[in-house]
Chains A and B, each alone.
Chain A
Amino acid sequence: MFESTELNRRNARVEKSMGFLYLVMTLILITPVLLILGLLIYKGAPHLTWEFLSTDPKSGMTAGGIFPALVGTIALVLGALIASVPIGVAAAIYLSEYAPDNWFTRIINLAIINLAGVPSIVHALHGLGAFVLFFKMGTSILAASLTLAIATLPVVIVSTRESLAAVPMAFREACWNMGATRWQTIRKVVLPNSVSGILTGVILEVSRTAGETAPIMFTGAAFFLPFLPESIFDQTMALSLHLFVISTQVPGVPEHVPYTVALTLIGIVLIMNALSIGFRMYLRGKKKW
């Protein structure tokens, strides 16, 4: 019979206590945030009505709803997607299907990492210097969308590249052996097999873009503009900036209003994220290879 020695018992003890220690550390990381989210829901949810979402802010933003900000955020996100998804997907196709393994490709990868690491306020400075002033777009939805597009481009590139890389090499080889060109292979084999993965990344980008505040501050988002923009050359309100404004700049806002705005913003972001995660899990289950 196997008899546990003192060493075995000690190992088992250490094992147990270490596992427990790390569990506790994980919980310490997660619990406060869950409590905070709970508090946001507790204070904001009762006021999150259809009326709040669909009416204009009134009396200097201390009352009324958030309709223009909601529409503005949607416009900005759409604009950013239109600008960044084609470029991002092209970049990912190049990196995954064309790029040779050399120093130049490494520089591209470094540029992507660094673009992702540029502070959001520096993106705002860039948007102001380049789009608003140099290209004379003025503070507009267009300038803000382009700024956001550059800020979130790495998200699209990285997620698209991952889903392209997940298509097995043998699929491509089979297609090449039939005499197909590289592009025919990509269009008929690689993209159809990865389009849902790309979509997952796009949804993730929506969630990221909707929450960004700093890049739109000086490029196109207005503090207070209680009507809807008419063209992409107008300024607009945005949810994220609205939350900043009513919680720091405007006196006399009832306590529940910023909570409700925060809850709306976080709701949009988390729903988008959940969609993206759910989609990814569904795909993993469906995968044929």
Chain B
Amino acid sequence: MLTKLPFRRSTTGDQHRAHDALDWAWLTDKAVGVLVFVGGISAIIFILSVFTFITRQGIGFITDTMEVGEFLTSPAWRPTSDENPTYGAFALIVGTASVTGLAVLLAVPFSLGAAIFIAEFAKGRVRETLKILIEFLAAIPSVVWGFIGLSIMNPLIIELFDVPVGLNLLNAGIILGLMSAPIMTSIAEDALKAVPDSYREAAEAMGATRWQITWKVVLPAGRKGLLAAILLGVGRGFGETMAVLMASGHSINIPDSPFDSVRALTASIAAELGETAVGSDHYQALFTLGILLFIVTFVINLTADLVVNGIKKR
């Protein structure tokens, strides 16, 4: 970070023009300082704006229609029923949790393995190529992943496991795992790179092999960063929309097996919001799901940051 620079006026005083130019420069400097400060706090403004506007649209549901506890724990999500629409988010929460859980279970070991390989074992061109490949994989849009789940994974799962429908928890979990793996890999690789080389050199000087250095020195030193990588992967999976919508089968279920279809929080909003009237109970309930998503991802991201940086200020 920069230290504060005292602005120094010209001491030769007698040249008016130089003074004017200097004052002008001084004014511009101050003006730009204000402008970039506004830009600097834009992220805070926007995060507050997101929270304010989704709360504004959705809060009526919690205050007037249903209690929070009941909303979160009742499993029946039947918002379009004519006589008796019910709003229960539990099955959706379970849907999101199970898909994310499966994805993380599949993605974490391979992501950490790949990160270790790229950071500690690979060298030169192999390493550059792998890094670029991982970056490419992270860039594939989620709607394309959803399409892959729909058109490639679906028949594959039907074929392999002999089940009637291939759009289910397993499909969404695998797709989400493949999606979040590159992100976890690159964050984890950054975390391992952040371990100072002097640690490695000290261990190498003691005669440790590359594997011993990785296992006994680098991994323990980088464990916070690795944990943060996993958390950010979880956050990403939790908030993923299009891929889960398209691959999960989108039927409301509390799954007993990976071959059950599930519906996720994000997917419900995406699929239903277009058909609701602004301000209706259903509309407000979907915004309430949005508030829930916002809060959970906020907590996950905050935790990841605290894990890395601690409570003290940086």
Chain A residues proximal to chain B, CB less than 8 Å = 11-12, 14-15, 18-19, 21-23, 25-26, 28-30, 32-33, 36, 39-40, 86-95, 97-103, 105-115, 117-126, 128-130, 133-134, 150, 153-154, 157, 172, 176, 179, 181-184, 186, 207-208, 210-214, 217-218, 240-241, 243-244, 247-248, 255, 258-259, 262, 265-266, 269-270, 273-274, 277
Complex: A91 Cα to B240 Cα, angstroms = 27
Q: Decide yes or no whether B203 CB sits under 8 A from chain A.
A: no
Is B39 a contact partner of A87 (Cβ separation < 8 A)?
yes
Known contacts A111-B47, A121-B269, A125-B290; A265 and B150 CB within 8 A of each other: no
Q: Which residues of B contact A (CB under 8 A)?
A: 1-2, 4-5, 7-8, 10, 25-26, 28-29, 32-33, 35-44, 46-47, 49-50, 53-54, 56-57, 109-111, 113-114, 116-118, 121, 130, 132-137, 139-144, 146-148, 150-152, 178, 181-182, 185, 209-212, 214, 232, 235-236, 238-242, 246, 266, 269-270, 273-274, 278, 286-287, 290, 293-294, 297-298, 300-302, 304-305, 309, 313-314
Chain A min CB distance to B12 (Å): 11
Find chain A residues with CB under 8 A from B297 CB. 114, 117-119, 122
Q: Given A28-B110, A119-B241, A179-B8, is A19 in contact with B211 using a C-beta cutoff of 8 Å?
A: yes
Q: How far is the CB of A27 from chain B (nearest CB, A)?
A: 9
- Assess the A94–B39 pair: CB atoms within 8 A: yes
- Closest A residue to B212 by beta carbon equals A11
For this complex, 20 residue pairs linking A to B, each with C-beta atoms less than 8 Å apart, are A26-B130, A99-B40, A105-B1, A108-B40, A108-B44, A114-B297, A115-B50, A118-B297, A119-B240, A122-B294, A129-B53, A129-B57, A134-B56, A179-B8, A181-B28, A181-B29, A183-B25, A211-B144, A240-B141, A244-B143
Question: Does A213 lie within 8 Å of B242, measured CB to CB?
Answer: yes
Residues A262 and B313 in contact in the complex (CB < 8 Å), given A115-B46, A121-B266: no
Cβ–Cβ < 8 Å partners of B133 in chain A: 30
Given the complex, which residues of B lie within 8 Å of A172, measured CB to CB? 2
Residues from chain A with a CB closer than 8 A to the CB of B151 are 247, 255, 258-259
Contacts of A150 in B (CB 8 A): 46, 49-50
For B301, the closest partner residue in chain A by CB is: A117
User: Which residues from A are CB-within-8-Å of B214?
Assistant: 18
Partner of B39, one of A91, A121, A265: A91
Residues from chain A with a CB closer than 8 A to the CB of B305 are 110, 113
Give the CA-CA distance A1 to B151 in the complex, in Å: 63
Collect the chain B residues with CB atoms within 8 Å of residue A108's CB: 40-41, 43-44
Contact of B210 among A19, A28, A115, A120 (CB under 8 A): A19
**Does B2 lie within 8 Å of A98, measured CB to CB?**
yes
Q: A15-B211, A90-B40 given as contacts; is B29 within 8 A of A270 (CB)?
A: no
User: B290 touches which one: A106, A115, A121, A179 (CB < 8 A)?
Assistant: A121
Docked complex Cα distance between A103 and B26 (Å): 27
A182 to chain B, nearest CB (A): 6
Within 8 Å CB of B121, what residues of A?
19, 22-23
Minimum CB–CB distance from B56 to chain A (whole Å) comes to 6
B142 interface neighbour in A157, A207, A213, Cβ under 8 Å: A213
Chain A, residue nearest B46 (CB): A150
Task: Tell me the minimal C-beta distance from B121 to chain A in angstroms.
Answer: 5
Question: How many angstroms between the C-alpha atoms of A129 and B209 in the bound complex?
Answer: 57
Cβ of B117 and Cβ of A26 under 8 Å apart?
A: yes
- CB neighbours (8 Å) of B242 from chain A are 120, 213-214, 240, 244
Q: Are A153 and B42 touching (Cβ within 8 A)?
A: yes
Contact A91 B43 (CB under 8 A): yes
Q: Is B26 in contact with A244, judged by CB distance below 8 angstroms?
A: no
Query: In the complex, which residues of chain A have a beta carbon less than 8 angstroms from the beta carbon of B7?
Result: 181
User: How far is B121's CA from A22's CA once the two chains are assembled, in angstroms?
Assistant: 8
Q: How far is the CB of A135 from chain B (nearest CB, A)?
A: 10
CB of B43 within 8 A of CB of A214, answer no
Residues from chain A with Cβ under 8 Å of B181 in the complex: 29
| Whole-angstrom CA separation of A83 from B297 in the bound complex | 25
B28 close to A183 (CB less than 8 A) = yes
